[in-house]
């Protein structure tokens, strides 16, 4: 069992005829993801790889093909509009891969989605991969393996590294989820952790955080009070100088707040081991999770 997706997930790809959208749609199809439609305004009537119909609007894709999930590969200036369109058409899960979406746009998008009960993953994220079920985004399929470990991460690159190490150690995954590191995102640590905690097939999970904000501290408090499953964490940006943005727009330490040291202290106080290096995550998980 995975979180947020299942065998009934039917995908429409917004921007399917673009360079990135086309490449990753091919990869998603090859993995078995049920892509029922694509959307590119002005390209309606075309076929993608001779199997996926392309429509001019998400509404058409939902009405004619029953799409309930959107994966967005459109330029930053059009990403917010694409999210609005998918939500208005009835998609209940939206995965926005686009990097560089203006924060001011996302501030307006989130209340709109919340009012309609729509879950957003991203923006500026690698998406979600549920081994054996579906790939929604850009995570490489060659490194995943079905199993009982969940993973949620603010960092795309570290997601790949840790998934590879988990699989190499024989620890397959229920869901690999990259939530993105922008200041305003949809699904956050709390959402993912609660979902993993409620998933009967997820026996343990890994949380990869980074400097900036207080999402990790909030998650640590919730885990301490509510979660009985083994959890291991890692905080990226431990050597980052204060006031410098490190990769993600949300990864900035300001006024001593959001430091790696503060996050590590909060996590360890909640009984969550914090690995010093990415390569230490699997041994740390094996240490506390006696299988």
Q: Are 63 and 48 in contact (CB under 8 A)?
A: no
CB atoms within 10 A of CB 272: 22
Q: Are 240 and 250 in contact (CB under 8 A)?
A: no
Q: How far is CA 222 from CA 140, 176, 251, 272, in A?
A: 30, 20, 22, 12
Please provide residue 87's backbone torsions phi and psi, each rounded to the nearest 5 degrees: -65, -45
Rounded distance, CA 41 to CA 56, Å? Answer: 4
Nearest Cα to Cα of residue 6 among 94, 121, 133: 133
Nearest Cα to Cα of residue 66 among 89, 82, 46: 89
- Please identify which of the residues 248, 252, 263, 284 carries the catalytic annotation: 248
Catalytic: 24? no
Q: Which residues form the catalytic set?
A: 248
């Amino acid at each position: 069992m995975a979180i947020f997706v299942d065998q009934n997930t039917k995908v429409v790809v917004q921007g399917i005829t673009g360079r990135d959208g086309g490449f990753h749609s091919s990869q998603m199809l090859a993995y078995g993801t049920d892509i029922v439609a694509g959307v590119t305004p002005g390209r309606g009537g075309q076929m993608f790889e001779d199997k996926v119909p392309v429509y001019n609007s998400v509404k058409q894709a939902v009405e004619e093909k029953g799409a309930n999930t959107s994966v967005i590969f459109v330029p930053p200036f059009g990403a917010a509009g694409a999210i609005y369109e998918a939500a208005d058409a009835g998609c209940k899960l939206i995965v926005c891969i686009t990097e560089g979406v203006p924060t001011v746009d996302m501030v307006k998008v989130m209340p709109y989605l919340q009012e309609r009960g729509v879950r957003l993953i991203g923006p500026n994220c690698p998406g979600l991969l549920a081994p054996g079920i579906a790939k929604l985004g850009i995570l490489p399929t060659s490194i995943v393996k079905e199993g009982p470990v969940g993973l949620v991460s603010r960092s795309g690159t570290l997601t790949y590294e840790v998934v590879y190490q988990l699989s190499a150690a024989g620890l397959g995954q229920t869901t690999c989820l990259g939530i993105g590191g922008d200041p305003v995102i949809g699904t956050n640590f709390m959402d993912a952790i609660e979902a993993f905690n409620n998933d009967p097939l997820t026996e343990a999970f890994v949380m990869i955080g980074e400097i900036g904000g207080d999402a990790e501290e909030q998650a640590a408090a919730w885990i301490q009070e509510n979660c009985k499953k083994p959890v291991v964490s890692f905080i990226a940006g431990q050597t980052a100088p204060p006031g410098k943005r490190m990769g993600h727009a949300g990864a900035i330490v300001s006024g001593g707040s959001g430091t790696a040291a503060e996050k590590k202290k909060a996590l360890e106080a909640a009984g969550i081991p914090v690995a010093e290096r990415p390569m230490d995550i699997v041994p740390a998980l094996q240490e506390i999770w006696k299988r």
